[in-house]
Copies of this chain bind each other. A is one copy, B any other.
């Protein structure tokens, strides 16, 4: 038997028991004739002592130990003289009477501690060692618990988890599919799903009115820092529902997760914001509402006072940074440099300091009277001691720059505390986006999203103005989930494909099975999908989703631990009927 207890189990009440533990040597240090071993497993660390009077075999084994050796220790639990309140087992230690080395270890390439000395690349290569570190262990446990919480909640709400296939069919629309050559059907290919979208809609047609699945999805896109070629979704769909039903159901799920996992009770309804408002007041469609500092359209207030840059601008927007009126030249310059970065893209920044006694100090003093600046301050809700920051130009680009500036100020002022949570629904997205280059509409979400009922007439006359019956779930400025009420009428779906520039033949070829399915009695339905990796990272309080995936790929889509992707033998390609170009 390898153990009677884990390394996290033993307490004062176990004193005098003879026990056996197994685990990894966190460290072994000699103090005179005694050796102290910190023995680690998934559950904790227990101190093992080899005393001067121990049997020679035990002393020899102890002397041979190195970091990360795997050992089994038997001995007696005793109360510690100097207790360690930092660990749960800190009241006791084990007087070893037997030590067996199960497995030796080479010197690990980096330290296996809370904070490792290993660089990113090295830790990715030895991911199995990095996974031994406490932060990653906590993340894997959190992820497991979140998945369990989701499943138990949805099960309690009568949802069925139904597995959909991974070997599906390639569709040219949207991001790139991974494809899989078929040996039994030479020259033909499966595709890996970007999401189970069409299958979950078919399940609605089949009458499974509450479906979910925690499911892997695949996208062969160029990877940004926070993207992975394979990622996990909490994928959900409901039939006989309107938007309100979907939102309240999943608000329930999210609240239950907050409670179960974080011990946080959210007793209010999540705020809702239209996409229009999100863009106007936060400059993006995923507002971080942990802090106010809204963007104000001050075009009317500051235009027409002969300040040429403002006068020629389509739009002038401002934010008020609370208590920042005393910012130095250097601090202001740093902000100006920030907004001028190519990723932000502003050409300059104007500031107005709201000083004591109703005085204003600004970079454009000579164009504006104190009265005008007071109007501006009023418009921005700025009070004495605040700093107003203005950007101008093309409306869309300026709002985007103001959004970046707002978040930067939020960071500077410590308003984006990762232990605080601000959930939000953004609704009423535009249905379509016009693409100048290809001169066609694209679906902003996907081609199955329903227009809102009130806008159905616009669909024929002015499709660009049609709102989608879609919604995103935003947490702390990050999009965690998104969904919509779907089209369930065959004719409307066909019309949608037409607007998107599909010929009837193309629509039939690619989506025929779902158009046809709608001809046999499709219920109204809608759903949502949550990015599970991202959800975990937000609950975990860190940024990178990679830390929440056991075996992630790097930014080139490579698994450097197993060295994949890799070449395959010619024989294999031959069987599949393909060759390299």
Contact = CB atoms under 8 A, between A and B. Distances in A.
A358 interface: no
Interface of A: 1-3, 22-25, 40-42, 68-70, 102-106, 108, 126-129, 131-132, 137, 140-141, 143-144, 147-148, 151-152, 155, 160-170, 172, 176-185, 187-192, 198-199, 202-203, 205-209, 216, 218, 220, 222-223, 229-230, 232, 240-242, 488-489, 512-513, 517-524, 549-551, 553, 556-559, 561-569, 572, 574-581
Contacts of A242: 1-2
A185 B561 contact: no
B203 A565 contact: no
14 contacts: A42-B207, A103-B488, A105-B521, A106-B519, A131-B207, A147-B161, A148-B161, A164-B550, A165-B230, A168-B562, A179-B181, A184-B223, A189-B565, A189-B567
Nearest to A201: B128
A9 to B, nearest CB: 11
Given A161-B147, A565-B189, A218 B166 contact: yes
A367 to B, nearest CB: 52
B137 A207 contact: yes
B564 A169 contact: yes
A140 B208 contact: yes
A369 to B, nearest CB: 57
A521 B71 CA distance: 9
B550 A163 contact: yes
Q: In terms of DSSP, what is the predominant structure of the interface of chain A?
A: loop
Q: How many copies does the complex hold?
A: 2
A180 B192 contact: yes
B182 A568 contact: no
A268 to B, nearest CB: 24
A245 to B, nearest CB: 8
A130 to B, nearest CB: 8
Contacts of A184: 220, 222-223, 556-557
Given A167-B229, A177-B572, 18 more contacts: A104-B521, A108-B520, A128-B520, A132-B207, A140-B160, A140-B208, A148-B151, A148-B155, A148-B161, A166-B230, A170-B568, A176-B183, A178-B180, A184-B557, A198-B562, A199-B551, A578-B579, A578-B581
Given A566-B169, A566-B189, A572-B179, A41 B556 contact: no
B187 A240 contact: no
Contacts of A127: 202
A517 B128 contact: yes
Nearest to A176: B183
A489 B105 CA distance: 11
A187 B580 contact: yes
A155 to B, nearest CB: 5
Contacts of A147: 161
Nearest to A560: B513
A442 to B, nearest CB: 18
A208 B2 contact: no
Contacts of A517: 128
A3 B523 CA distance: 12
A559 B168 contact: yes
A340 B548 CA distance: 58
Contacts of A40: 207
